[in-house]
Amino acid sequence: MSSQKSHVQGLGFSSKHLFSPLELVDRFPRSDEAASTVQEARKTIKNILHGDDDRVMIITGPCSIHDEEAALDYARRLIELRNRLSEKMFVVMRVYFEKPRTTVGWKGLINDPGLDETFDISQGLQRARRLLQEINDMGMPAACEFLDPVVPHYFEDLVSWVAIGARTTESQTHRQMASAIGIPVGFKNGTDGNFETAVDGILAARNQHSYVGTGPDGHVCVLRTDGNPDGHLVLRGGKLGPNYDSDSIKLANEVLCNGDLEQRLVIDCSHGNSNKNHERQPSVFEDVISQRAGGNNSIVGVMLESNINPGSQKLGNDPGTLEYGVSITDACVGWDKTEEIMLWADNALSM
């Protein structure tokens, strides 16, 4: 990437040329194995969302990816666990490369892959695409949050489920982006816990849009979208407290019904639903699975923030001192507990 100082008077930034999404895809083309994983997973998830498949989608994995070796280790463990489960659950791995920030902080592997504030985004994009390729080659579908509207062009062909986060669910830019992608997309309720903004996002994404954006060739262009029929609501709690309980789910379904939308919900066991305490995630997970096992078929998915080892750690000044398999963003459930509650859920849903 060559540097080029901005010559526009009054603009406080410099710029660097970056390869286009098509150039990166040509450099690391999607394999036949990865293509099959993505196509089959997207079809399955769409069927789950529209009531044509009665499995529960389980989206589990690290809050954020900062170590590819640990991510591949987690993926292998998840595949081994999946092979022990019945046909009651469909497993997707969280592979999150972008982290929204309320103020400042590490923004994820794409923004700062060296964990050292060198911000080698070119390297970050390449590493993200390679990792998604490897995970899909194993036969494990991947879920991502799309934050920067340009970034998805670099690897969206390797993603089977997308989240629009609580901070961006009200953004017109992200609703347009969701309208453009042919991937099932979950809109999280706002940070205040409000359902309506996410439902408005689902409705907006279902429609066609025309807007100025960046195409796969890297050029600014007018994008015209087809609309996304596979938007759905993700409950993640909020400032007013958790919203995974039966009363909250009933209210969310009423809001969906008022919008003439299918009553299909994914429940995030972290964030506001666990009061940001990773040790509470298993009890939230068990409550939600029990509701589904008890007949609440509007619950079609559950999300866990899970890693090889529990808790979280500070990034600090020396990435070499980081503990293996421990999150550097939100605290996660460890692998042993993840395995335990997944096996419990499989049994509960089979009864």
- How far CA 252 is from CA of 52, 154, 208, 233, 244, in Å, comes to 21, 34, 25, 9, 10
Structure tokens that stand for 172 in this block: 């017109």
Q: Exposed, middle or buried by CB within 10 Å (0-12, 13-18, 19+), for 104?
A: exposed
Number of domain units in the chain? 1
Distance of CA 149 to the CA centre of its chain: 14
Span 132-165, pLDDT tens digits: 999 999 999 999 999 999 999 999 999 999 999 9
Residue 83, domain extent: 15-318+328-350
Q: Does 121 reside within a domain?
A: yes
Tell me the mean pLDDT in the region 73-81: 98
Q: Which CATH number is 263's domain given?
A: 3.20.20.70
Q: Does 59 reside within a domain?
A: yes
Q: Does 302 reside within a domain?
A: yes
Q: Does 8 reside within a domain?
A: no
Q: Does 9 reside within a domain?
A: no
Give the chain's mean pLDDT.
Answer: 95
Tell me the mean pLDDT in the region 304-331: 96
Structure tokens that stand for 66 in this block: 């900062």
| Residue-level pLDDT at 9 | 55
Percent of the chain residues past pLDDT 70, beyond the cut? 96
- How far CA 258 is from CA of 28, 124, 169, 270, in Å, comes to 44, 42, 19, 27
Q: Does 303 reside within a domain?
A: yes
- pLDDT bin (cut points 50, 70, 90) of residue 16 is confident
Q: Does 91 reside within a domain?
A: yes
Tell me the mean pLDDT in the region 50-63: 98
Span 256-287, pLDDT tens digits: 999 999 999 999 999 999 999 999 999 999 99
Q: Does 163 reside within a domain?
A: yes
Distance of CA 71 to the CA centre of its chain: 15
Of 322, 296, 301, residue with least CA distance to 163: 301
Tell me the mean pLDDT in the region 235-241: 95
275 SS3 class:
coil
